[in-house]
Amino acid sequence: MEYLISICIPAYRRTAFLKRLLDSLVIQRWKNFEVVITDDSPDEQVRDLCLPYMSRLSLSYSKNPIALGTPQNWNEAIRLAKAPWIKLMHDDDWFADENSLGSFVTALQQNPEAAFIFSAYRNVQPDGRQGPSVLLSSFWYRQLKHNAAVLFSHNLIGPPSVVLFKRRDSLEFDARLKWVVDFDFYIRYLAANKPLYIPKPLVLIGISESQVTRDSFMNPQVEVPENLLLLLKTGEGQLKNIFVFDAFWRLVRNLGLRGEADIRQAGYRGAIPAPIAAMMRFQNSIPASLKRWGPASKFLMVLCYIFCRAALMQPKSFS
C-alpha cells in the first residue's frame, strides 16, 4: 500500500507518553498513513510497547544500534519513511482528537500548492492541565510568509509536532543544533515555500522537565553559538529586518554580552557580524536598569537599529 503520510516518531524510553501518542493515532478517522518509530532507548521497553500496536497500525519499529540523540534520531525516522509527506511527532506530543490528521489532509487537498502546513496547538502540563490555544496572529502570519527569518524573533510556528511537510530528501535537521534546530529547519524549508497555517489546535504538546529547552534557555553556551551559527547560515543581511535585529538585541541584553570576549567564552569561534559588535558597544553605554525596562529598551533598540544602518546595508564581520 502506498501511504500519503509517514508519522515519524523518534522515541526514547518514555513509554507512557508514547502510548498516549499511539492511542491518538489508532483513533484517527483518516487512515492512509504509516508509523515509523526509531528507538534510541538502551532497553526493549519501547519495542515491547510497539508490538501490540503493529496489528492496529501500519507500524515499523527500528532500534538504533547506537543512540543518535537529538536531532539525528529525528532524521533517522524521516530517512526510513516511505510516504511523500512527513509528520514528525515527538513521543510526548499527541493529536487533539480523532479528526486532527484528517484536518491536515483537508488543508493540503484544498491547497495543492502547499508543501509546509502547520496548525495551532495547546500546551499540556505534567498534571494534565491544558493551556489556552497557541494561535498565530494575522500580523505575524504575514511576516512569516514574507520572510521566515522572523523566527529569530519568536518561534511563530511551534514545535515540529505541529508541522506537516512534503518530503525533501536533501533537507535534514542540523545535528549541530538543539536550541534553534526546529526553526533553523523551518527557515531553510520556507526559503523555497510559503507556509500554510491552520488556526485550529490539532496537536497537544506535552510539557516535561526533560525537554531540551530546560537546559538551553538563558544558557550562553547554547544560545550564543547556535543563534550566531544560524545567522551565519541564513546571512547576516537578515539583520536588516527589524524583528531579527530586535531578537539579537534581546539576546545581547538578556545574556549580558559586552564584547568579543563574552562571545568567545560562550563557545562561538566564528566571525562576529559587525552589527552585533556595534550593538554590544551601544548597549555598554546604557545603564542596566534602563535596558531592562521594556518601553525604554524597545526605543533604544530602534535607535541602535538606525545608528547601525550603514553596517546593516553593507554587512561585514570581524574575527
The confidence score (pLDDT) of residue 291 equals 85
pLDDT for the residue numbered 210: 56
Residue 139, burial from CB neighbour count under 10 angstroms (0-12, 13-18, 19+): exposed
What gap in Å lies between CA 103 and CA 10, rounded to an integer?
23
DSSP codes, 65-107 = SS---TTHHHHHHHHH--SSEEEE--TTEEESSTTHHHHHHHH
**Cα separation of 239 and 247, whole Å?**
9
Report yes or no: 292 and 237 within 8 Å, Cβ to Cβ.
no
What's the chain's Rg over C-alpha atoms? Answer: 21
Q: Which SS3 state, helix, strand or coil, does residue 4 take?
A: coil
Helix axes 274-284, 242-255, angle to 10 degrees: 50
Contact yes or no for 252/304 (Cβ under 8 A): no
The residues facing 122 across adjacent strands are: 133, 204
pLDDT for residue 97 is more than 80? yes
Residue 212 reports pLDDT greater than 60: no
What integer pLDDT is reported at residue 317 of this predicted model? 45
Q: Would you place residue 209 in the very low, low, confident or very high pLDDT band (cuts 50, 70, 90)?
A: low
Averaged pLDDT of the chain: 93
Q: How many CB atoms lie within 10 A of CB 177?
A: 21
Q: Backbone phi, then psi, for 73, in 5-degree steps?
A: -70, -30
Query: Would you say residue 312 has pLDDT above 90?
Result: no
- Write the CB contacts of 105 (distance below 8 Å, at least 6 apart in sequence): 4, 5, 30, 32
**Residue/partner pairs of 218-222 with CB below 8 Å, 24 or more apart:** 218/254, 218/255, 220/255, 220/257, 220/262, 220/265, 220/266, 221/266, 221/267, 222/178, 222/179
CA–CA distance, 174 with 189 (Å, rounded to integer): 12
In angstroms, the CA 279 to CA 301 distance is 9
Q: Is the pLDDT of residue 163 over 80?
A: yes
Grid coordinates belonging to 206? 506535552
pLDDT in tens, 19-66: 999 999 999 999 999 999 999 999 999 999 999 999 999 999 999 999
For the cut 50, the answer to whether the pLDDT of residue 229 exceeds it is yes
Mean pLDDT throughout 271-282?
93
Highest mean pLDDT among 207-211, 233-237, 259-263: 259-263
Tell me the one-letter amino acid at 112: P
| Number of Cβ atoms within 10 Å of the Cβ of 175 | 14
Whether pLDDT at 211 is above 90: no
Residue type, 211: Q
Helix axes 274-284, 294-307, angle to 10 degrees: 130
- Domains of the chain by range and CATH? 5-213 (3.90.550.10), 219-318 (no CATH)
- Residues 172-204 pLDDT 10s: 999 999 999 999 999 999 999 999 999 999 999
Three-class DSSP category at 188: helix
At residue 90, the pLDDT reads 96
**Which DSSP symbol is given to 271?**
P
* Beta strand spans in 191-279 (E): 196-206, 272-273
List the single range of 107-111, 119-123, 272-276, 306-310 with lowest mean pLDDT: 306-310
User: 319 pLDDT band (50/70/90 cuts)?
Assistant: very low
The DSSP string of 166-183 is E--TT----TT-SSSHHH
